[in-house]
Amino acid sequence: MIKTKKLAKIVSIMVVISVLTAFTGQISSASFEPPFTTLRIGLNYGENGLPSANLQNAEGAGSGFNFGYFDANRNFVSIGAWTSETRISMILDRNMVWHSGEGGGAGQYREGASGSIIVGAFHVQLSTEYSTFEEARTAAANYQGAFVRYSHGTFVVLIGQHTSRAGAERALASLGIPGAAIEAGTANTIVVVRTGTNVILFEWEYGTARYLGVTPRHTGEGKAETWFLGFRYNGGFQYARRDASLLTVVNMVDVEDYTGGVLPYEMANTWPLEALKAQALCARTFAMHYAARAPRHAGSGADLCTTTHCQVYRGRNLANETTDRAIEETAGMYITYDGVPVQTFYYSSNGGASEDVENVWSEPMPHLRGVRDPYERDIASTVSGYHWERSFTPSDLAQRLRDRGHNVSTITSMRVSEYTPTGNVLSIVFTDSNGKSVTISKLTQINNVLGVRSLRFDVGNSRWEPGGIYANDPAVAIDTSSGISIIDGSGVVTTVTGGTIYAITGSGSIEPVTGGSVATTSGSGTGLVNGVFTIRGTGWGHSVGMSQWGAYSQALHHNRSFEDIINFYFTGIEITKT
């Protein structure tokens, strides 16, 4: 309740403004249809490619594997080839030696020709081509150590394995099979063996036109799951030797299963359901935004990786009933702007306000607008590392700046030259003993020089003081540029054009409402206190988009739904269910 000082008595009045309304709980009908439901997640590629890749069926969730390829629509196409082995390894078509895991680690095949278990790259190949796997498999049963290769659309039978061409030639001579020939290792062939042995189960050769696809043979009531490098994944796997070298491994996984494999690694699986649902929506939308528009690792045949460069993805290991429920209750939902899934960035905490994306990185985006965040204060005292500080001597700062290309002498002054309207640091000015000044701006530069945890901090005794007038929504200031209207007790609307505005507080006292639409700073000087420059800040992360701790607080302390959380942190969006 507010009034102007000019009124003779205090009357009951209210501010007439446009504010963000609470989310109604309605999900819009589908205006976005995903172009596909299978995502390509790069598990190992490039410098992290593998000489061998082991798969193992999870107990009760698979029994053997099918072989084929994934088509242009990301659908698995079986070629009829399969194995009942539950532990298999895809390896290079070279002489490979099995090395058992040390200290309990997983074993691996590595290139070489000396060891107790060797897979040779030279074979005897029969001349007959078969149209089906079963025909070739039946023929292979007539020879000891024989197996089937799929080569450019047909099946052939290979016999034995040798570490040299000479050894294969001796075997060919002893077999005396008309038309048989020597087959050596090729640049793109992938060999499938029973893990830990030299028993070859299958080979794949299709150049670079098609890559080997492997899917678990399903058993049990739930979805099939497969162990790979200590993590349990849904979906299938694609193997390629894109540079004729190491194996690229891509998990071909349904978008919902992918989201379930991100959720408990980007947010604790013990957190409130509504916070987890908000996180699920962010993770799913982030993935589809890039997969459908601009895959981040297209050169490796992947939409996304498994690290924080994209999103942390580790499959089913940490999934539980709550995370599964969060996926199920938001299934098919995306955060869209003008019908398109958007970049749904998120981070640990913002320290008190999120930020406009252009004040952190580069180009503005209409859905990534900063808001003052009152919800984090409920958890600020309990979150480890939420409050932080860093100190630098003048010579430390000078050296850090010089290391980054700035020719400066000893720094005598460091001050925040500009805060954003939400109170985050936008620019810092350093001045040296010769009077030379250097200005750094935005997250990348500031973090590169100072190593800060967030952009919400002060230097020395400089402080940011919030401006603006707020009603109903504690995060969005009233636009006072065209005046404020009030309704008195008799229903008369009057525009406030001047004077001081007063509010009645919760305790009944009358206090002046101060502030303007732009934040100001207090404190002055060089920022140097007791011989050091000290930065004190709150929050951890880039502050663009959703605060995870803010979502936690909203769900736990304010009974807000995932829709409320999403609409608080992202501006002008819709939640679209496909």
349 lies in some domain: no
- C-alpha 137/C-alpha 558 separation (Å) is 64
Task: Say yes or no: 95 and 217 in one domain.
Answer: yes
Give the per-residue pLDDT at 516: 43
Hey, what are 473's tokens? Answer: 């929504």
Contact 556, 312 (CB under 8 A): no
Contact 205, 92 (CB under 8 A): no
Task: Say yes or no: 406 and 434 in one domain.
Answer: yes
| Residue that finishes a domain, picked among 224, 252, 280 | 252
Give the per-residue pLDDT at 15: 35
pTM: 0.85
* Structure confidence by residue, pLDDT tens digits, 526-569: 788 888 999 999 999 999 999 999 999 999 999 999 999 999 99
Q: Which helix (H) or strand (E) holds 324?
A: helix 321-329
| Residue that finishes a domain, picked among 219, 252, 285 | 252
- C-alpha 66/C-alpha 89 separation (Å) is 13
513 lies in some domain: no
Give the per-residue pLDDT at 4: 30
246 lies in some domain: yes
Give the per-residue pLDDT at 32: 80
Report the Cα–Cα distance between both ends of the chain, in Å, rounded.
44
Residue in this structure with the two tokens 């190949």, named with its chain if needed: 125
Instruction: Give SS3 for 328.
Output: helix
69 lies in some domain: yes
Task: Say yes or no: 532 and 430 in one domain.
Answer: yes
* Structure confidence by residue, pLDDT tens digits, 190-211: 999 999 999 999 999 999 899 9
Hey, what are 560's tokens? Answer: 């807000």
Give the per-residue pLDDT at 465: 65
- C-alpha 419/C-alpha 458 separation (Å) is 10
Q: Which helix (H) or strand (E) holds 238?
A: strand 236-240
DSSP state of 58: P
- Residue 527: domain span: 357-466+520-544
Residue whose C-alpha is closest to residue 51's, from 3, 99, 102: 99
For 136-205, the DSSP string reads HHHHHTTSTTEEEEEETTEEEEEEEEESSHHHHHHHHHHH--TT-EEE---SS-EEEEETTS--EEEEEE
Instruction: Report the 10 Å Cβ neighbour count for 381.
Output: 8
182 lies in some domain: yes
Half-sphere exposure of 235 (CA within 13 A, CB side): 30
Task: Say yes or no: 409 and 273 in one domain.
Answer: no
Task: Say yes or no: 331 and 373 in one domain.
Answer: no
Task: Say yes or no: 122 and 215 in one domain.
Answer: yes
For 18-45, the DSSP string reads --PPPP-S--BPP----S-SEEEEEEE-
- C-alpha 294/C-alpha 182 separation (Å) is 44
How far is residue 386 CA from its own chain's centroid?
22
Task: Say yes or no: 421 and 388 in one domain.
Answer: yes
| Residue that finishes a domain, picked among 193, 223, 252 | 252
DSSP state of 74: S
- C-alpha 241/C-alpha 108 separation (Å) is 17
2 lies in some domain: no
Task: Say yes or no: 369 and 457 in one domain.
Answer: yes
Task: Say yes or no: 161 and 280 in one domain.
Answer: no
32 lies in some domain: no
> Which residue stretches of the chain have pLDDT < 50?
1-25, 514-519
Task: Say yes or no: 240 and 292 in one domain.
Answer: no
118 lies in some domain: yes
Which stretches does DSSP call E strand in 100-141?
108-111, 118-119, 122-125
Task: Say yes or no: 461 and 533 in one domain.
Answer: yes
Give the per-residue pLDDT at 257: 98
Print burial letters for 347-374: b (CB count within 10 Å at least 16), e (below 16): bbbbbbbbbbbebbbeeebebbbbbbbb
Residue whose C-alpha is closest to residue 200's, from 319, 282, 118, 260: 118
Instruction: Give SS3 for 556.
Output: helix
- C-alpha 192/C-alpha 89 separation (Å) is 6
Residue whose C-alpha is closest to residue 306's, from 231, 212, 216: 231
- Domains in the chain: how many in total? 3
Q: Residues 6 or more apart from 93 whose CB is under 8 A from it? A: 121, 185, 186, 189, 190, 191, 203, 205
The strand order across the sheet containing 493-496 reads: 14-16, 484-487, 493-496
Task: Say yes or no: 181 and 60 in one domain.
Answer: yes
- C-alpha 308/C-alpha 290 separation (Å) is 14
